[in-house]
Structure 1
């Protein structure tokens, strides 16, 4: 059993289509699931990362704020101690503040300094106005952890704007507690200070505060590490960099790179905490920020790529899953495609065998038996095919037996009809030849008679038509001559019209040019009117400045302005009318041009018509001469036609009598011959049909 290569390729294409369909569905589903997973993961991870960054920033800010709050709490406690122990009425007494400081404040402040971490010093300073110098206490721990104390820096005589006295005057100016920026104190220590004024009963007694080592805050900020290269930095309330891996305090976040981060600063001032996407050092970064108690801002800077590294890993995993799914889909599709296309290939082989008229019993093979036993659509197809082949085998056998019987009977009939047909055909041929000769002679005589009669009629008609043609030709000659004269008159009138059209066209062009000149003059008048109006306005202004002396001139200027406006209005109306006239003139010019072209075309046509009339007259004269000659010849033929008609009638009568007898005999013989020929033809056709049927039957393999 062989299968056609192209059909085999078709089967492969079906299998391939099944594989591609399954694969395409799997890939589309995988892509949809993967895309939705990636988008969802991106949104979730990004939102979580951003929330974590904000929370992390707020956590670090909270740690710093807790340290700041400790110092604020210490200063607040010192303030309460002073408020509860000092006698404000004795401030101006000599020695009171010194005794009060040594006996009450010094032990308390030293104890607080001993217990405060990251402490660079605690101080209480009273206003020099009470004693003429600064009274108070300063206490701190040395490098060995031992307490040391002294009198604060004497600010007596210092200006409020002196940086060395800022620890004292800044809080008093603010009227509340505040934190300073980083600075180097008198002990050459890098510190920041929280100070608050001492106010009792509305009277400012001095200032107290706490110094905090900057190194501790710097280390705390620098130790913040996020992801791989993320870092933290600190700016003051004016957005000067205080702690940064690369920038120093001379760089300002707000003004950096022509205000690159101005929008970030606006959000910090508006929200206090949050994050912003920025582009810095050719890297897309996320800036998280949180304000501290003292107005400083803690900021975290992390590259976006590091934040979404986990997302990229997730995307790669999803892509890997999609690829694995596609591979599994291909394998499954191959298996299923083979299972589906296998029966189709086998069914095609059976149909190809049947199409080759091979009806041998192949249903007993193992493969086909398996297909016939299936209970699905495949089994139905194979059972229907097997039934078709069995039915075809039965029909072919019946046809074969029938044709054998027909062949035997038709052979005898063919021999008999052939012999009868030969004898009848001989007799019929002889009679037919005789009848044909008589008929031909009769027909020729009849046709000759009819043709002579028709010829006679035609000759009479030709004679009459010749006379009419001669008369008509004479009339046509007269009419053509009159038409030629009329055409010449029309040419002269067209020439006059053409000249008139040229004159009108020139007048229209002149009118158009003059209307354009009027338009130019109107524009000039309009410009003069506008200038006059401006001059009148200037004159009115000058008259107003002149007061009473210029009142009369003002009236004149107003009248001039009104006349100028009226002139302008009138000029514009004239201009509108002129524009309308120009439009109509231009339209008239276009129509004149069209009319002139039409007249020129008509002149050319008339010239051609005149030439045609001249040629017609010449042809008519020639025709009239030929008509006269033809008329003379027809009259001669008309006189001799009657004798020829009489002779032809006699020949026709004799021939018709002979032909009638021969036709009766020929008709009888032809009828018998036709019957025999029909029988013989049908027998031959039947034999040919049986032969073809046998040839078809031989093509079947049973």
Structure 2
């Protein structure tokens, strides 16, 4: 016991020393409470607890300030970006609606020109076949005069042109043939629109006249009063007009608004020579009628807001750099940086103070623990006057040292007592081992006899088990025989019922056959009556035919007055002929029925004896089933008697099996108890011998403990 207390005290000292001696570097003399002296133990500065507290406090404040500042900056940046995006999108939508209004104005102008009677008359005059050159010149002059009243009302119109839809058509202007060929695809699209307005994208030098500035246009087919489409009207509008509408609107400080077609080619932009080129802004995916997104423009992230023109299908979009839009949020970022710097300086000061207040006492405590590890139990702390946790640790340390000193003294006294007790225990253990050896020998003899009895009981139990299995087999076969006999009895009863029903059915069939023969005889008599009636009808038909012939002769003698009667006589003769043919057909059918009835009577007459024989056979089978049923009833009675005897025999056998099982169980229990006693005796002998060895060892350990306790300074 003293050795365990000594090992436990040493383990506590070693564990406490390992945890505390690495807190901070210090020097302390053995047995000096002030901590000064030749004893040395050092901890690296970076691993000192004061340094760790300083770093944790500094990083906690700095990280908290940086996280809060960063979140504030990002939140304000997102809010600014969202508000500017909404305002820019609303501006672009309003601009798109304004442009759609302008586009509808020009579509209306093209419609007015198309339905203008004077313009239509000039076009019809130009489209007439076999026109002379003077007629063509006059028609062109009239058309040009009629179109000027539209073009002069709008300075943004570059020109109004009437263009033939086919190559055979006569151009309305001089030198337009080549331009018409170049724009054949556009002319085809207008023709396919069949009177609807078709918008042309911006083109640098115009479409049907070489210009020094870009234009875009709207065109539609012109139909005459007959619905023919030979020409189209085209309004070319200056692209600068649209750019002037867009240039006054800005997205951010440096952003701008442009327009591009469905192929993302520029139609309205600041630089006219860029018209028709691919736009710098690339919008991917399926675009809605209006929206906003972000994309890279010249390597810089830009905010893009757009709307789609309902008239032209162009995309009017505005874009500006995101950094420019969120520039107002940069002040929050600068404020975050300054707050982080000030927080870092405050953390340095507070962290240094905390390391001095906590780290220094821990260093002193570590050196005192080192002295205690070396066996000096007289060391004590000097900072017990503090009212914080450090003071509580100092008081607890002093209390712990006092209790360890008392424990060492008590252990020393206990070691002497244990040494004396160990010597007495050795003598008692030797006597116990001798007695256990004698008990083990006697128990082995008892176990041998119990084992022989258990073997004999087991053999008797096996024989009883085999008899029980044979009885179960006989009982099972008897039950199966009873079931089979019951099934045969039930089948016999069902056979009797079926044979009774078959007898009744056979007798009914015999009666029905006899009745059928009688009815066929009655039908034969009826058929004979029908033949007599047919003979009478045949005679009547012949007389009617003769009467009609006589009537025809008399009508012929009467001349013109008897023509009507002759027609009636002819119809009567025809009816007589038809009646005669019908009577012949009915006679043939009646003869056929007569032959079939004769055959039926012969067949029924032949079947009647067979039904009689079948009825006798069924009655004999019914008697056989009745005999089988009676025999099965007798067999069931005998099987019941056999089953009763077998059950009584089985109960006797089960009683014998239970008795043999009890004998076997008692024998096995006796054998097991004997073996268990023998085992316990052997175990007691081993324990006694082990107890002797432990007593000797305890005596040696007590001596070693006394020597170890002499190393502590109390």
- Relative contact order (C-alpha < 8 Å, sep 6+): which is higher? 2
Check whether TM > 0.5.
Answer: no
- TM-score range (shorter-chain normalised) is 0.3 to 0.5
